[in-house]
Chains A and B, each alone.
Chain A
């Protein structure tokens, strides 16, 4: 839906809000950069536009991320602020089937990311930049730079706005006009910068760019003279490599969030072991305690010829001297963090990341959907949220994984139960509170429901229920003719609840106390009349 709405970014200053960026949809409506926001709102003539303040730092970070992504096309990529990339594709075209295919593939993939792109390939960076920003086509390949440049406005050279205005005053609007003028006069009147940009565009002067330099992940490796078959040798080597890796990490001021151990075996494919950490660490003892036990389960085959440990995911980590100043036995909060991280890492790597989780609140009415469990390796440190808001009503301390069916006798169709049977317990209800009606939000479709289906009721309950019903109501043992099924018989609920997501139904929750003092959280499905137990005040 957001893609259908125009997007504007604005800057505020001098008592005015100015449009700093606009999308194509807004541009089609007549919105231009530099226009006041009030004017832009009037042009868009609806409240549907997405208007946000401009955040240059976020834009810069996004551009850097895009530059990192573009490394798949060439090893030399530089950012051209505020919204451009310079990619040196010399020598890379053949890998993509030629320059034209490369341009189209680049543009297609950028569009696939949800962005709008104008791509141009040219003999020089300045030429490509000028054509991409001021050319008529979205995708262009320039073979002869001077001819193409001649048709472009002077601003395409990237000179100062004052120079462009000064040239405009004397009627020089296109680069072609500049090329016809004597160079000495240009330099004398408009400064050497104009000539330099002109020469760079024509390929007569070099243009240097500042490409991004992706750091290679820290790696420590050891190659054996011959195949090593002893497990102890491998373990010792891994310990030594971890010490080397820790030094590399310390030089970079960071710690490992993910480690990869690779063993190159002589007779078969290399084996890799990956361990994830809940927080950055370069503690050799801790990393060894996680990695070495995993080595024991590796089949070394006929021997290992190379061992490599690589930190594939890094995180910032302060120097050790900054930690542990508060000598309370744990080393203060940061010391506690370190011990806590080691505990989570050990648990996650042995039991599996899905078995060590945190609970995060979710905004929903459904009791089973008010939280979700996420691995501590995903969440890292304690979540920033302050916790969910207090529920409108009382909530039990124990919620069953699946609502379990109940056999219930209620005095009134919509009233609380007077008697219930759950598992092997048959209890008279002595007190109750409710109902509290809970329904799924109307905007949630079936696809979003993550509630497991309730357990289908056991058919044998039908007969025992009828017997209990008779004892409860009639005060005597039932005769065969008295047995009849009622709408609250659990057997009838089997078909209604099997295979259907109960979270789509409306529920009336009751808090009931049985004769033994247990407080149960039970609900009746409004649509079917079936009863389930969902939790206990344990």
Chain B
């Protein structure tokens, strides 16, 4: 009896602690992963900031490598292919009806005639913003992220300080949009309050198809925020690194067929072993 009495407060305390951790991590029901679009390969949670670092060469180290040694004024190319794909998939969601996409920062404007951009009505529902300076850029991102009518915000996040990322993270939790902030790889070692961080690398391919490696660097409450379905269905296979490729026939970025099969096989093996 005494042990049972002792266990009850412990269980209550544990539940309180769990809910508190969830709250600190920006949790709660708001951070449930957004529903995946049909046929999509990746579903990301809305209401959090996803930082996308890239693009870097395959042999460059993520942190402390040659990416850091680059000149600060060296040209930086954001991973627009992946970001376009995510924006396009997000628009296919029924809850995105009537809502729009904002591209902020000239560097993050995709080519409007790109295959991924003209697929569906992404181009029709997109607005492109070109702030003249960093201060205006942060203000514009903050405003767009808070807007309930914006379903995806793709922004140039170069030079953002910790306080700015915290501000954007809070705004994202309030607004509920999918916030994709592209940042140069040189800023990987900067402090950030973003819930999720990604790194995209170029990688070579043999079948004349552009291919990238997407690596998940950080995810607070990962299972809720990231659900990358390499097998196209339930995600049995949850790696932290994925290879994706540009497929013209499908009008966007997809998991290569060979890798998809392999991941499915891995899932079957996992099920069999279970």
Interface positions of A (Cβ within 8 A of B): 328-330, 332-333, 335-340, 342-344, 346-347, 350-351, 355-359, 361, 367, 370-371, 373, 376, 382-383, 385-391, 394-399, 423-424, 430-431, 433, 511, 513, 515-519, 535-538
What are 19 A-B pairs at a CB distance below 8 A? A329-B148, A340-B99, A342-B147, A343-B143, A343-B144, A351-B136, A356-B127, A367-B111, A383-B124, A388-B123, A391-B118, A397-B80, A398-B110, A398-B111, A399-B113, A423-B75, A513-B205, A516-B59, A517-B203
B80 and A337 contacting across the interface, CB-CB below 8 Å: no
Contact of A343 among B58, B112, B132, B149 (CB under 8 A): B149
Contact of A347 among B58, B99, B140 (CB under 8 A): B140
Question: 1/0 per residue B124-141: CB within 8 Å of A?
Answer: 111111111000100110
B123 and A336 contacting across the interface, CB-CB below 8 Å: no
B129 and A391 contacting across the interface, CB-CB below 8 Å: no
Q: Which of A337, A535, A538 has the most CB of B within 10 A?
A: A538
The complex places the Cα of A516 from the Cα of B60 at a distance, in Å, of 11
A351 to chain B, nearest CB (A): 6
B99 and A336 contacting across the interface, CB-CB below 8 Å: yes
B123 and A394 contacting across the interface, CB-CB below 8 Å: no
The complex places the Cα of A357 from the Cα of B127 at a distance, in Å, of 6
Interface positions of B (Cβ within 8 A of A): 55, 57-59, 74-75, 77-81, 84, 95, 97-100, 102, 110-118, 121, 123-132, 136, 139-140, 143-144, 147-150, 176, 201-206, 208, 210-211, 246, 248, 251
* Residue of B with least CB distance to A370: B113
* Residue of A with least CB distance to B128: A357
Extra pairs beyond A340-B100, A538-B81 (19, CB < 8 Å): A346-B143, A347-B129, A347-B143, A350-B136, A351-B136, A358-B127, A371-B113, A386-B124, A389-B118, A397-B114, A397-B116, A398-B114, A399-B113, A399-B114, A430-B204, A511-B208, A516-B58, A517-B204, A538-B78
Known interface pairs A336-B98, A359-B128; A391-B113 also in contact (CB < 8 Å): yes
Q: Say whether chain B's binding surface is mostly helix, strand, loop, or mixed.
A: loop
Contact of B211 among A376, A394, A398, A517 (CB under 8 A): A517
* Residue of B with least CB distance to A379: B127
Instruction: For B100, list chain A residues within 8 Å (CB).
Output: 340, 382
CB-based closest 9 A-B pairs: A333-B98, A340-B149, A537-B210, A399-B111, A517-B204, A359-B112, A517-B202, A339-B149, A519-B210
Contact of A516 among B57, B95, B110, B125 (CB under 8 A): B57
A513 and B204 contacting across the interface, CB-CB below 8 Å: yes
Known interface pairs A332-B98, A340-B149, A343-B144; A395-B115 also in contact (CB < 8 Å): yes
* Residue of A with least CB distance to B84: A397
Instruction: For B79, list chain A residues within 8 Å (CB).
Output: 538
Instruction: For A335, list chain B residues within 8 Å (CB).
Output: 148
A536 and B97 contacting across the interface, CB-CB below 8 Å: no
Instruction: For B246, list chain A residues within 8 Å (CB).
Output: 394, 397, 519, 537
The complex places the Cα of A530 from the Cα of B99 at a distance, in Å, of 44
Instruction: For B121, list chain A residues within 8 Å (CB).
Output: 386-387
Contact of B55 among A350, A361, A395, A538 (CB under 8 A): A538
Known interface pairs A355-B130, A355-B131; A330-B143 also in contact (CB < 8 Å): no
B204 and A340 contacting across the interface, CB-CB below 8 Å: no
Known interface pairs A336-B98, A431-B208; A358-B84 also in contact (CB < 8 Å): no
B202 and A351 contacting across the interface, CB-CB below 8 Å: no
Instruction: For A515, list chain B residues within 8 Å (CB).
Output: 204
Instruction: For B126, list chain A residues within 8 Å (CB).
Output: 358-359
B115 and A336 contacting across the interface, CB-CB below 8 Å: no
Contact of A373 among B78, B81, B111, B128 (CB under 8 A): B128
Instruction: For B74, list chain A residues within 8 Å (CB).
Output: 424
A498 to chain B, nearest CB (A): 23
B262 to chain A, nearest CB (A): 20
B211 to chain A, nearest CB (A): 7
Instruction: For A333, list chain B residues within 8 Å (CB).
Output: 97-98
Known interface pairs A333-B97, A538-B55, A538-B78; A351-B130 also in contact (CB < 8 Å): yes
The complex places the Cα of A344 from the Cα of B147 at a distance, in Å, of 10
Known interface pairs A359-B112, A398-B111; A330-B129 also in contact (CB < 8 Å): no
The complex places the Cα of A538 from the Cα of B57 at a distance, in Å, of 12
A351 and B140 contacting across the interface, CB-CB below 8 Å: yes
Known interface pairs A346-B143, A370-B112, A518-B202; A376-B77 also in contact (CB < 8 Å): no
The complex places the Cα of A479 from the Cα of B113 at a distance, in Å, of 46
B111 and A396 contacting across the interface, CB-CB below 8 Å: yes
* Residue of B with least CB distance to A355: B130
* Residue of B with least CB distance to A430: B204
Instruction: For B211, list chain A residues within 8 Å (CB).
Output: 517
B136 and A336 contacting across the interface, CB-CB below 8 Å: no
A382 and B77 contacting across the interface, CB-CB below 8 Å: no
The complex places the Cα of A336 from the Cα of B176 at a distance, in Å, of 13
* Residue of A with least CB distance to B60: A516
Known interface pairs A516-B204, A537-B81; A351-B124 also in contact (CB < 8 Å): no
